[in-house]
């Protein structure tokens, strides 16, 4: 089938079956999750209470309880047709890992029975040698183990009971995303509780909340399959711009195309049955780009749900003849995809710590947390950027679309004014809700509803949006845990040192509110001068200004990873108990290795496609033109009527030559890079190769512009982006 047939076929698939109602969402929400309701129904009283102690109080789960819990789970699972079980974990790769075991065992009477006990629930030993470990586990010591994370409920996917687990080496190092995230969540709670107690002595726990917004592209599966670059690297390595892209702003929030809507409904239905509170769906800025967002939840669970959603998207898209692209930059020239991480803190008593309070006390608590978050982001701005850096996100980073490669914070007019005012007034000035005391000069006021709540600065990587911060730099295919671990840990570190500062002020005999404000003032001064920036993050002027302020402007991804092992980061991570230095070193090895492999794969695919797809198409057209020219010469005796053909031939000759030489050079560059022993140095060499991919792309896109449309073998941007 040639390209035009393929295009026609994928266009016709637009016909979608009529929608059939699923009934009320609340009737099936969470039906495939072993949640509290099922625990109460399927567990005996002793197991239930022990499990709740474990979930809420962090008590370890003993074998007997695990057996009791497993018994109840097995009964529930079998009622749902489950035949298999797996530990479901998040190694340092893209996506999750699972190894299914059937529930059968010999019954001793010549048959089999279903078994599932506490041991199978609590721990498994997958052969871990083939997961990235950065040398923590030499291959002869292939044993790592997975252990149940009872704070994330067990769920059913098709015939399989999935048990969310951490993944750890036998020597205790984390080999996954979940383990450090859980440690960071504990650290931020431990550090925040004493601060909360200045305001409410009964606070026992502080939760970190995450609301992710998942952006993605959909492309027709037939067209996708005809693009080896998309299939293998997740993005198009070449493709000339479509004449119409996103310049008319007609895709954002536009009517959802029927086939896409059918996909979204299926996805939401599956997600809701799995207890994922999917809330929002809409068209995004770029053609064929969409977004899905749930109601925010506790960070660990919300992150698991994001991992699960990405998995569901892949499966369900295929049922609708689509492939979902989670890559940050599948298409050049249109927006890429991110995953805004909306993040906040709240107490076990329901107080939102990053939202204005009900009174002056509540407001002081809000400002306290607000300012300390800014301080943490300021101190670790380079590290936070490193948490979102990857070979794939690099194409968004600093490339004139969110996010700029400088981590600053956007506060909005209101909060900037509040902070400035606080520096001017005496430390015992109450922070009022605007309007409560009438308008008066001298008061520090916060409006009850933020006027500029929607005063969104789309260029800021870390923006305050009224009751939370939005970390916008996270990549669409990333595991949010990478960024969330560091953010929560950095805030924990900051709160620990803030507590010391407050205690020092209290020791001078000050009232609590005055002591807190006196401890806050130098921090406010510093964050206003350094990390807070409400201007346009894309300008050259901001880059210069950021350097002056001491913010990091590095754009080289392998270099960014070095931030993880700098003394300030090691101190922060070890103090909060999130990573040991050994883990940080090992993880950087993994990061560099992954970076190298991803660029290596892209470069290979690109060179092979240049040789196997592009040059043959260009030379076939060249041969046709030459034939025409020789005919013209024969008939007219000259080429006077062929100036256009001659010009095109000229372009083809030049560009083909360029493609050939650059492809060869790239191969040589790879050879040289592969010979480098040191992981970091090799990654630096591959960074150069990543940059040169753009160089090889240019002549190819120029060829696409002139070569006969019928001869061009690869689906074009105008087809990939506009057929849905
Ligand atoms: P927008 O695109 O306008 O930023 P969306 O509605 O797409 O907003 O997504 C906002 C996300 O932020 C949702 O997941 C929402 O549940 C989440 N969110 C709202 N309040 C909080 C909060 N206090 N903490 C964390 N996430 C929050
Ligand atoms: Mg948002």
Which atom of ligand 1 is the closest one to the Cα of 465? 4
Write down the pLDDT at residue 140: 57
Whether residue 147 is contained in a domain is answered as yes
Whether residue 384 is contained in a domain is answered as yes
Whether residue 8 is contained in a domain is answered as no
Task: At 278, list the tokens.
Answer: 């999917």
Residue 691, classed as helix, strand or coil, is helix
CA atoms within 13 A on the CB side of 708: 14
Between the CA of 468 and the centroid of ligand 1 the distance, in Å, is 8
Check pLDDT > 80 for residue 430: yes
Domain boundary among 551, 580, 609: 580
Contact 616, 659 (CB under 8 A): no
Domain count within the chain: 3
Check pLDDT > 70 for residue 641: yes
Write down the pLDDT at residue 354: 96
Task: At 86, list the tokens.
Answer: 């797996």
Write down the pLDDT at residue 456: 64
Write down the pLDDT at residue 380: 98
Write down the pLDDT at residue 446: 75
Question: At 301, is the pLDDT very low, low, confident or very high (cuts 50, 70, 90)?
Answer: very high
Helix (H) or strand (E) holding 344: strand 339-347
Write down the pLDDT at residue 680: 97
- Mean pLDDT lowest for which of 43-47, 143-147, 468-472? 143-147
The dihedral through the CA atoms of 183, 187, 193, 194 has a sign that is positive
With tokens 């025409």, the residue in question is 628
Check pLDDT > 60 for residue 175: yes
Q: Are residues 561 and 604 in the same domain?
A: no
Q: Are residues 523 and 457 in the same domain?
A: yes
How far apart are alpha carbons 217 and 335 in whole angstroms?
10
Write down the pLDDT at residue 669: 98
How far apart are alpha carbons 718 and 243 in whole angstroms?
8
Q: Is the CB of 600 under 6 A from ligand 1?
A: no
Task: At 519, list the tokens.
Answer: 């401890």
Q: Are residues 196 and 169 in the same domain?
A: no
Of residues 324, 325, 271, 296, the one with CA closest to residue 484: 296
Check pLDDT > 70 for residue 553: yes
Read off the pLDDT of residues 302-361 as tens digits, 9 standing for 90 and up. Answer: 999 999 999 999 999 999 999 999 999 999 999 999 999 999 999 999 999 999 998 999
Read off the pLDDT of residues 481-534 as tens digits, 9 standing for 90 and up. Answer: 999 999 999 999 999 999 999 999 999 999 999 999 999 999 999 999 999 998
Residue 358, classed as helix, strand or coil, is coil
With tokens 């004493």, the residue in question is 194
Read off the pLDDT of residues 398-423 as tens digits, 9 standing for 90 and up. Answer: 665 666 789 999 998 889 999 999 99
Whether residue 585 is contained in a domain is answered as no
Question: At 432, is the pLDDT very low, low, confident or very high (cuts 50, 70, 90)?
Answer: confident
Write down the pLDDT at residue 442: 58
Which atom of ligand 1 is the closest one to the Cα of 467? 23
Q: Are residues 171 and 189 in the same domain?
A: no
CATH number at residue 675: 1.20.120.1560
How far apart are alpha carbons 330 and 233 in whole angstroms?
9
Q: Is the CB of 468 under 6 A from ligand 1?
A: yes
Of residues 213, 212, 230, the one with CA closest to residue 221: 230
How far apart are alpha carbons 322 and 642 in whole angstroms?
44
Read off the pLDDT of residues 279-292 as tens digits, 9 standing for 90 and up. Answer: 999 998 899 999 99
Average pLDDT over residues 377-403: 88
- Probe residue for ligand 1, chosen from 212, 282, 291, 296 as the CB with the greatest number of ligand atoms within 8 Å: 296
- Give the single-character DSSP code of 62: P
CATH number at residue 340: 3.30.590.10
Between the CA of 295 and the centroid of ligand 1 the distance, in Å, is 7
Q: Are residues 191 and 154 in the same domain?
A: no
List, in sequence order, every residue forming a beta bridge with 114; answer none if it has no partner. 104
Q: Is the CB of 467 under 6 A from ligand 1?
A: yes
Contact 256, 19 (CB under 8 A): no
List, in sequence order, every residue forming a beta bridge with 471; answer none if it has no partner. 341, 462
How far apart are alpha carbons 403 and 396 in whole angstroms?
7
Q: Whose CA is nearest to atom 2 of ligand 1?
A: 213
Between the CA of 340 and the centroid of ligand 2 the distance, in Å, is 6
Output the furthest CA–CA distance in the chain (Å, rounded).
105
With tokens 């923006």, the residue in question is 463
Whether residue 6 is contained in a domain is answered as no
Domain limits for position 108: 17-175
* Strand pairing class (431-433; 444-446): parallel
Whether residue 488 is contained in a domain is answered as yes
Of all ligands present, the nearest one to the C-alpha of 343 is 1
Of residues 528, 540, 373, 523, the one with CA closest to residue 462: 373
How far apart are alpha carbons 329 and 338 in whole angstroms?
9
Read off the pLDDT of residues 605-622 as tens digits, 9 standing for 90 and up. Answer: 999 999 999 999 999 999
Of residues 345, 461, 323, 455, the one with CA closest to residue 396: 461
Q: Are residues 602 and 555 in the same domain?
A: no
Helices (H), ranges, 291-393: 299-319, 360-379, 381-388
Task: At 711, list the tokens.
Answer: 């001869």
Check pLDDT > 90 for residue 655: yes
HEC profile of 477-538: CCCHHHHHHHHHHHHHHHHHHHHHHHHHHHCCCCCHHHHHHHHHHHHHHHHHHCCECCCCCC
Of residues 338, 336, 335, the one with CA closest to residue 246: 335
Between the CA of 282 and the centroid of ligand 2 the distance, in Å, is 12
Read off the pLDDT of residues 108-162 as tens digits, 9 standing for 90 and up. Answer: 999 999 999 999 999 888 777 788 888 776 655 667 899 999 999 999 999 999 9
Whether residue 5 is contained in a domain is answered as no
- Probe residue for ligand 1, chosen from 342, 453, 455 as the CB with the greatest number of ligand atoms within 8 Å: 342
Question: At 640, is the pLDDT very low, low, confident or very high (cuts 50, 70, 90)?
Answer: very high
Task: At 290, list the tokens.
Answer: 């969409």
Contact 181, 288 (CB under 8 A): no
Contact 383, 490 (CB under 8 A): yes
Check pLDDT > 70 for residue 473: yes
Write down the pLDDT at residue 611: 96
Q: Is the CB of 213 under 6 A from ligand 1?
A: yes
- The fraction of the chain above a pLDDT of 90, given in percent, is 82
Check pLDDT > 80 for residue 188: yes
DSSP string, 88-156: EE-BSSSS-EE--EESEEE-SSSSEEE---HHHHHEE--BGGGS--TTSS-TTS-BEEEEE-TTS--EE
How far apart are alpha carbons 173 and 180 in whole angstroms?
10
Which atom of ligand 1 is the closest one to the Cα of 343? 25
Task: At 284, list the tokens.
Answer: 């995004």
Domain boundary among 118, 147, 175: 175
Domain boundary among 175, 208, 239: 175
Q: How far is CA 288 from the centre of its chain?
A: 19
Q: Is the CB of 561 under 6 A from ligand 1?
A: no
Average pLDDT of the residues of the chain: 93
Q: Whose CA is nearest to atom 14 of ligand 1?
A: 211
Write down the pLDDT at residue 109: 95
The C-alpha angle 384, 148, 169, rounded to 5 degrees, equals: 65
Q: Are residues 562 and 604 in the same domain?
A: no
Check pLDDT > 70 for residue 453: no
Write down the pLDDT at residue 602: 98
Q: Is the CB of 402 under 6 A from ligand 1?
A: no
Which residues contact residue 581 at a Cβ distance below 8 angstroms, ignoring those fewer than 6 apart? 565, 570, 574
Q: Is the CB of 366 under 6 A from ligand 1?
A: no
Of residues 264, 488, 455, the one with CA closest to residue 383: 488
Q: Give me the torsion for CA of 579, 585, 590, 594, rounded to 10°.
A: 110
Q: Are residues 155 and 204 in the same domain?
A: no
Q: Is the CB of 472 under 6 A from ligand 1?
A: no
Contact 510, 377 (CB under 8 A): no
Which atom of ligand 1 is the closest one to the Cα of 340? 4
The C-alpha angle 530, 531, 535, rounded to 5 degrees, equals: 100
Of residues 595, 614, 597, 689, the one with CA closest to residue 238: 614
Between the CA of 176 and the centroid of ligand 2 the distance, in Å, is 27
Average pLDDT over residues 428-438: 76
Q: Is the CB of 211 under 6 A from ligand 1?
A: yes
Of residues 378, 310, 9, 507, the one with CA closest to residue 499: 507
Task: At 369, list the tokens.
Answer: 């947390």
Residue 333, classed as helix, strand or coil, is coil
Q: Are residues 391 and 410 in the same domain?
A: yes
Q: Is the CB of 342 under 6 A from ligand 1?
A: yes
Of all ligands present, the nearest one to the C-alpha of 471 is 2
Of residues 440, 467, 437, the one with CA closest to residue 356: 467
Q: Is the CB of 370 under 6 A from ligand 1?
A: no
How far apart are alpha carbons 442 and 219 in whole angstroms?
57
Residue 253, classed as helix, strand or coil, is coil
Q: Whose CA is nearest to atom 1 of ligand 1?
A: 213
Q: Is the CB of 208 under 6 A from ligand 1?
A: no
- Give the single-character DSSP code of 305: H
How far apart are alpha carbons 366 and 445 in whole angstroms?
13
Read off the pLDDT of residues 665-679 as tens digits, 9 standing for 90 and up. Answer: 999 999 999 999 999
Q: Are residues 170 and 189 in the same domain?
A: no
Q: Are residues 425 and 521 in the same domain?
A: yes
Task: At 437, list the tokens.
Answer: 């005391």
CATH number at residue 66: 3.10.20.70
Helix (H) or strand (E) holding 213: strand 206-220
Whether residue 715 is contained in a domain is answered as yes
Q: Are residues 381 and 408 in the same domain?
A: yes
Which atom of ligand 1 is the closest one to the Cα of 342? 26
Between the CA of 470 and the centroid of ligand 1 the distance, in Å, is 8
List, in sequence order, every residue forming a beta bridge with 282; answer none if it has no partner. 291
């Amino acid at each position: 089938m040639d390209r035009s047939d393929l295009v026609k076929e994928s266009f016709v698939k637009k016909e979608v079956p009529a929608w059939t109602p699923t009934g009320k969402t609340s009737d099936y929400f969470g039906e495939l999750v072993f949640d509290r309701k099922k625990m109460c129904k399927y567990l005996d009283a002793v197991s239930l209470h022990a499990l709740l102690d474990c979930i809420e109080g962090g008590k370890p789960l003993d074998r007997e309880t695990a057996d009791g819990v497993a018994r109840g789970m097995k009964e529930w699972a079998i009622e749902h047709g489950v035949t298999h079980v797996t530990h479901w974990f998040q190694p340092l790769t893209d996506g999750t890992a699972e190894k299914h075991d059937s529930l059968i065992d010999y019954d001793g009477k010549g048959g089999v029975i279903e078994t599932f006990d506490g041991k199978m629930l609590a721990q498994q030993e997958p052969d871990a040698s083939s997961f990235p470990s950065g040398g923590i586990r030499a291959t002869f010591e292939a044993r790592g183990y997975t252990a149940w994370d009872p704070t994330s409920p067990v769920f059913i996917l098709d015939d399989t009971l999935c048990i969310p687990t951490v993944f750890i080496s036998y020597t205790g190092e984390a080999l996954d995303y979940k383990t450090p995230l859980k440690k960071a969540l504990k650290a931020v709670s431990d550090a925040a509780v004493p601060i909360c107690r200045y305001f409410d002595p009964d606070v026992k726990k502080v939760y970190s909340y995450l609301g992710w917004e998942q952006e993605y592209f959909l492309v027709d599966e037939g067209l996708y399959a005809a693009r080896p670059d998309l299939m293998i690297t997740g993005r198009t390595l070449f493709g000339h711009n479509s004449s119409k892209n996103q310049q008319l702003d007609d895709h954002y929030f536009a009517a959802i195309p029927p086939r896409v809507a059918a996909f979204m409904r299926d996805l939401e239905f599956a997600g809701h049955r799995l207890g994922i509170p999917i809330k929002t769906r809409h068209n995004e800025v770029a053609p064929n780009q969409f977004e899905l967002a749930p109601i925010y939840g506790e960070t660990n669970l919300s992150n698991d749900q994001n991992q699960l959603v990405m998995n569901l998207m892949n499966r369900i898209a295929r049922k609708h003849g689509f492939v979902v692209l989670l890559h940050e930059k599948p298409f050049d020239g249109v927006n890429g995809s991110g995953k805004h991480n909306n993040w906040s803190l709240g107490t076990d008593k329901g107080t939102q710590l990053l939202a204005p309070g009900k009174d002056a006390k509540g407001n002081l608590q809000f400002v306290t947390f607000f300012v300390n978050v800014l301080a943490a982001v300021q101190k670790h701005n380079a590290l936070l950027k490193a948490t979102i850096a990857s070979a794939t996100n690099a194409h968004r980073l600093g490339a004139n679309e969110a996010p700029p490669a400088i981590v600053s914070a956007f506060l909005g007019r209101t909060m900037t004014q509040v902070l400035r005012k606080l520096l001017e007034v005496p430390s015992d000035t109450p922070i009022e809700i605007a309007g409560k005391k009438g308008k008066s000069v001298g008061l520090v006021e916060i409006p009850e509803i933020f006027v500029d709540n929607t005063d969104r600065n789309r260029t800021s990587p870390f923006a305050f949006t009224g009751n939370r911060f939005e970390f916008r730099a996270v990549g669409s295919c990333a595991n949010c845990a990478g960024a969330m671990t560091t953010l929560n840990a950095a805030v924990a570190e900051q709160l620990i040192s803030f507590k010391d500062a407050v205690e020092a002020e209290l020791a001078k005999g000050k009232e609590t509110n005055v002591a807190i404000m006196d401890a806050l003032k130098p921090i406010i001064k510093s964050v206003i001068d350094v990390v807070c920036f409400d201007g346009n993050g894309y300008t050259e002027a901001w880059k210069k200004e950021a350097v002056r302020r001491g913010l990091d402007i590095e754009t080289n991804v392998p270099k960014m990873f070095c931030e993880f092992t700098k003394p300030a980061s090691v101190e922060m991570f070890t103090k909060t108990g999130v990573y040991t230095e050994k883990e940080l070193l090992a993880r950087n090895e993994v990061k560099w290795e992954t970076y190298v492999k991803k660029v290596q794969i892209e470069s290979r695919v690109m060179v092979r496609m240049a040789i196997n797809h592009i040059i043959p198409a260009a030379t076939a057209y060249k041969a046709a033109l030459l034939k025409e020219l020789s005919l013209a010469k024969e008939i007219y005796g000259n080429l006077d009527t062929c100036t256009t053909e001659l010009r095109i031939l000229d372009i083809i000759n030049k560009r083909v030559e360029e493609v050939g030489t650059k492809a060869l050079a790239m191969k040589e560059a790879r050879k040289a890079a592969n010979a480098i022993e040191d992981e970091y140095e090799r990654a630096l060499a591959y960074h150069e190769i990543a940059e040169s991919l753009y160089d090889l792309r240019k002549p190819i896109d120029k060829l696409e512009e002139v070569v006969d449309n019928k001869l061009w073998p690869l689906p074009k941007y105008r087809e990939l982006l506009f057929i849905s």
